[in-house]
Amino acid sequence: EAGVAQSPRYKIIEKRQSVAFWCNPISGHATLYWYQQILGQGPKLLIQFQNNGVVDDSQLPKDRFSAERLKGVDSTLKIQPAKLEDSAVYLCASSRWGTTGELFFGEGSRLTVL
């Protein structure tokens, strides 16, 4: 079974530029999550999708962050414009419907904002 795929692995941009991250979850996984992990901290949930609908985006800074999962499969997370404090690893995870807590994570996309 192929794991969660994320790209790019690394991205360096200057503040006020935009960036997009892509995630392809494990086949058949209905739930998809984007987490932000700042160095030295635990992952913080940004947005949770169930198929192509948003379940929770309460911690997503909507003035600059957006995410979509149009066909209920892969997802894109965008930041525009980026700030210095957005430097972090962006982790995508997926899970089967009804299996609380067992998330499968990708390797993450490391963003550095200069």
- Cα 22 to chain center, whole Å? 8
The C-alpha atoms of residue 112 and residue 77 are separated, in whole angstroms, by: 15
Single out the residue of 22, 45, 66, 72 in contact with other proteins (rule: CB under 8 A): 45
Q: Which is nearer to other proteins, 40 or 53 (CB)?
A: 40
Q: Which residue has the tokens 């192509």?
A: 52
Should residue 22 be labelled a site residue for other proteins when binding is judged by CB under 8 A?
no
Q: Which is nearer to other proteins, 17 or 26 (CB)?
A: 26
Contact 101, 1 (CB under 8 A): no
User: In the bound complex, what is the minimum distance in angstroms from residue 16's beta carbon to other proteins?
Assistant: 27
Beta bridge partners of 50: 31, 53
Should residue 48 be labelled a site residue for other proteins when binding is judged by CB under 8 A?
yes
Given the rule CB under 8 A, which residues bind other proteins?
Answer: 4, 31, 33, 35, 40-45, 48, 55-56, 91, 93, 95, 98-108, 110
